[in-house]
Amino acid sequence: MALTAAEIMTDGGQILPLARDIRDALSTYARRTWPRDTAKHAARAWKIPKDTAANILKGHASAATLTHVLREGGWGLAHAVVGAVIGQSFEGWLNEERGRIARERRHAEDQERRLVALAGRVRSWAAPVDDLSDRLAEPADHQRQSDRARAAGRLDRGAD
């Protein structure tokens, strides 16, 4: 049976859900996992002396012992115990992260829609400006015609 952070925090639903000290959470985890001969089973499972296991059950464990037990117990133990210390299960945190990511995705999609619409408006405004700049860059038709006529007149006069 895998214990959850909520089960450790509430001591099986008996007390209000509160974040716990890691030593208390580990003690509760061991007691709930092995209700009988707890120290013996914990010592065997976590590869520690029985006296050290008994100290864990009292809520007394050194940092080195905690590290060793977390390594031996693996993710199942770590999720439950650390979740109880934080006050939130790993699954609860994952659900919060999924919700946050979904909100960020919706926000990014809204921003993209706004930017695409704005780009369309800018293109529609730019088309007349581009047309005007093309007209300004090239001489007007009547200017070109008069230039041609003058050039033709000079050529005609020069030929006489």
Tens digits of residue pLDDT in 16-58: 445 568 999 999 999 999 999 999 999 999 999 999 999 999 9
Confidence class of residue 109 from pLDDT cuts 50, 70 and 90? very high
Measured distance CA(84)–CA(21) in Å, rounded: 8
Q: Provide DSSP, 78-105.
A: HHHHHHHHHTS-HHHHHHHHHHHHHHHH
| Averaged pLDDT, 102-114 | 96
16 by DSSP, 3-state: which? Answer: coil
Q: Provide DSSP, 100-153.
A: HHHHHHHHHHHHHHHHHHHHHHHHHHHHHHHHHHHHHHSPPHHHHHHHHHHHHH
Task: List the domain boundaries for the chain.
Answer: 5-88, 99-159
Alpha carbon 108 to its chain centroid, in Å, reads 13
| Averaged pLDDT, 103-123 | 92
Q: Tens of pLDDT along 52-90?
A: 999 999 999 999 999 999 999 999 899 888 888 888 888
1 by DSSP, 3-state: which? Answer: coil
Q: Which helix (H) or strand (E) holds 12?
A: none
What's the pLDDT at 136? 66
What's the pLDDT at 91? 85
Residues 6+ apart with CB under 8 A from 147: 139
* Side-chain-facing half-sphere of 156: CA atoms under 13 Å: 6
